[in-house]
């Protein structure tokens, strides 16, 4: 040994000292090494056998390999390679070829293989676990299918959520448009009342001023309804359209990644798998963030539905829900209510004054425009649903209602001559009848508009709106947003597990391929296949 050390390069020996020290420490800390020391004294010393002499079975240690070599000077000498099976490792100093020199502390190659393998192969085996290989394939397939299932749930939920949100927004816009149209009709009727006249009677100036004022306020309310609902609709579209596009892009990328990774792993395309793993971790991180965004959407939808239910229990209170569709200010609604009732009362009063003071009076010929030769039975008055205090009142006996006024009054219309005066018996001229019926129709329309005005005061339109959304739209919105974030989370988690399984499966596949190669090499060297060292 001393001679061999002298012939060895001293720089190599010095460089190996730290490595030897580390190996000794690792060996002492290794339980397997400690157990081997306990049985060292029971170990049998192998016999030196001649290469040409067959050895009896069972007398040679299984972890030794005997190779007989003819010495050039003495043909009967035999050289024993110790621990040949255990030291049959790859040599990093020899391009990772297998080391075949056995145990030899003086051989630098032995020290290299001893220092290389304890870190990689604590207990060297050349087999692989078929169970682990099968489990990795099964799990990889299952997680790929889970990613597909999450993708399907995500896209079905997204499609149905898109349809539900479109229906909900359309319903809100329809309700807002209904309110706006009714407000516009109310303004048109008030303006028609302002310009109404029956004979010489016109709308009082005070009521005309009230109509002008309330018209501006109603237009402001209509503009507010239109702006708020249209802005909300645009905001929802601007938020959901990019979110929908992002969802489609990322979910499709997840699905493609899962399939590519699965196929590349099965076919052993390691380089592509490694690239997909790097890209996959980035994509999975982004999709988990996006899953949080969809969870936020789900929570916002659920919170909105709960808020609507609570508002329905307290409809008189102001709340943040008015940002969806505004609530008419109570004072404005009360003013609209009073002006509408006042104008209705004024129109009917104007008709009755014309009937009482002109039509039912036998005017003398010198009465000017008040005389048109009226005669015959007296014309009944129109029933006024309000008294002077604008309180509800009942019709008096003999008065006509909105429903039968045209039919009853038509019996009092006379035929006129070229001068415009009645040529036959009657108290109403055809022109006077038309003016009276026009005013009756306007007053009747204003009267029938009163429930809508009352709804503005009571916020009945909001009750109807939020009640319908809570009942018919909220369940679907909550269900489909849940499908979306659960599907996205499932796909992301499944792809994340697939990334890990790609690596595990690649390792098992590499072990399988490596085992075949090693077994072939050992078979060529005469080493039994599948052999493992005894503890």
Q: Does the pLDDT of residue 87 top 80, yes or no? A: yes
| Helix intervals (H) in 449-473 | 450-458, 460-468
Burial, 371: exposed, middle or buried (Cβ in 10 Å; 0-12, 13-18, 19+)?
middle
Mean pLDDT (the chain, rounded): 79
The per-residue pLDDT for 128 is 59
For 4-13, 177-186, 356-365, 418-427, which range has the lowest pLDDT when averaged over its residues? 4-13
Q: Does the pLDDT of residue 47 top 80, yes or no? A: no
Separation between Cα atoms, residue 122 and residue 29, nearest integer Å: 12
With cut-offs at 50, 70 and 90, classify the pLDDT of residue 51. very low
Q: Does the pLDDT of residue 401 top 60, yes or no? A: yes
With cut-offs at 50, 70 and 90, classify the pLDDT of residue 519. low
Q: Does the pLDDT of residue 39 top 80, yes or no? A: no
More confident residue, 458 or 31: 458
* Tens digits of residue pLDDT in 297-348: 889 999 999 998 898 888 877 788 878 888 888 888 899 999 999 999 999 9
Q: Does the pLDDT of residue 236 top 90, yes or no? A: no
Q: Does the pLDDT of residue 50 top 50, yes or no? A: no
Q: What is the CA radius of gyration of the chain?
A: 50
Burial, 11: exposed, middle or buried (Cβ in 10 Å; 0-12, 13-18, 19+)?
exposed
More confident residue, 238 or 1: 238
With cut-offs at 50, 70 and 90, classify the pLDDT of residue 127. low
With cut-offs at 50, 70 and 90, classify the pLDDT of residue 48. very low
Separation between Cα atoms, residue 374 and residue 354, nearest integer Å: 13
| Average pLDDT rounded to a whole number, residues 39-66 | 41
Exposure class string for 140-159: b at 16+ Cβ within 10 A, else e: beebbebbbebbbbbbebbe
Burial, 288: exposed, middle or buried (Cβ in 10 Å; 0-12, 13-18, 19+)?
middle
* Tens digits of residue pLDDT in 377-387: 999 999 999 99
Q: Both ends of the chain: CA-CA distance in Å? A: 30
With cut-offs at 50, 70 and 90, classify the pLDDT of residue 6. very low
Q: Does the pLDDT of residue 518 top 70, yes or no? A: no
Q: Does the pLDDT of residue 34 top 70, yes or no? A: no
Separation between Cα atoms, residue 160 and residue 285, nearest integer Å: 26
Separation between Cα atoms, residue 246 and residue 237, nearest integer Å: 14
| Average pLDDT rounded to a whole number, residues 14-41 | 41
Coil vs helix vs strand at 210: helix
């Amino acid at each position: 040994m001393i001679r061999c050390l002298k012939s060895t390069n001293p720089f190599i020996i010095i460089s190996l000292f730290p490595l030897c020290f580390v190996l000794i420490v690792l060996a002492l800390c290794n339980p397997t090494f400690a157990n081997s020391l306990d049985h060292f004294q029971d170990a049998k010393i192998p016999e030196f056998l001649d290469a040409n002499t067959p050895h009896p079975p069972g007398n040679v240690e299984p972890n030794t390999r005997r190779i007989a070599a003819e010495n050039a000077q003495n043909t009967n000498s035999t050289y024993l390679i110790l621990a040949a099976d255990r030291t049959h490792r790859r040599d990093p100093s020899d391009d990772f070829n297998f080391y075949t020199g056995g145990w030899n502390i003086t051989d630098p190659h032995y020290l290299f293989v001893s220092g290389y393998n304890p870190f990689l192969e604590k207990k060297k085996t050349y087999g692989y676990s078929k169970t682990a290989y099968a489990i990795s394939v099964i799990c990889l397939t299952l997680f790929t299918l889970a990613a597909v299932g999450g993708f399907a749930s995500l896209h079905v939920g997204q499609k149905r959520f898109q349809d539900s949100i479109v229906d909900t927004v359309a319903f809100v816009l329809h309700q807002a448009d209904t309110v706006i149209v009714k407000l516009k009709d109310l303004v048109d009727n008030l303006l028609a009342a302002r310009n109404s006249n029956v004979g010489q009677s016109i709308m009082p100036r005070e009521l005309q001023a009230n109509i002008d004022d309330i018209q501006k306020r109603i237009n402001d309310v209509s503009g507010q309804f239109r702006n708020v609902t249209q802005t909300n609709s645009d905001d929802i579209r601007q938020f959901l359209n990019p979110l929908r596009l992002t969802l489609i892009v990322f979910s499709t990328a997840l699905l493609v990644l899962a399939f590519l990774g699965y196929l590349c792993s099965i076919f052993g395309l390691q380089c592509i798998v490694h690239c997909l793993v790097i890209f996959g971790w980035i994509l999975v991180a982004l999709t988990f963030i996006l899953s949080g965004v969809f969870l936020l959407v789900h929570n916002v939808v659920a919170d909105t539905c709960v808020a609507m239910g609570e508002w329905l229990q307290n409809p008189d209170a102001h709340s943040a829900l008015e940002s969806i569709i505004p609530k008419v200010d109570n004072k404005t609604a009360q003013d609209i209510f009073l002006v509408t009732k006042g104008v209705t009362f004024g129109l009917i009063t104007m008709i009755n004054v014309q009937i009482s003071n002109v039509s039912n009076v036998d005017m003398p010929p010198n009465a000017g425009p008040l005389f048109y030769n009226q005669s015959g039975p007296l014309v009944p008055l129109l029933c006024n649903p309000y008294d002077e205090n604008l309180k509800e009142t009942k019709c008096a006996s003999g008065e006509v209602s909105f429903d039968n006024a045209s039919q009853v009054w038509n019996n009092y219309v006379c035929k006129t001559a070229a001068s415009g005066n009645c040529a036959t018996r009657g108290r109403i001229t055809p022109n006077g009848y038309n003016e009276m019926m026009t005013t009756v129709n306007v007053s009747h329309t204003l009267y029938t508009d009163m429930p809508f005005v009352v709804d503005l005061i009571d916020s009945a339109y909001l009750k109807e709106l939020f009640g319908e959304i809570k009942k018919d739209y909220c369940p679907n919105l909550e269900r489909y947003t849940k499908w979306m974030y659960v599907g996205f989370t499932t796909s992301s988690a499944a792809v994340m597990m697939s990334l890990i399984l790609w690596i595990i499966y690649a390792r098992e596949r590499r072990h399988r391929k490596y085992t075949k190669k090693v077994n072939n090499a050992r078979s060529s060297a005469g080493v039994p296949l599948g052999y493992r060292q005894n503890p």
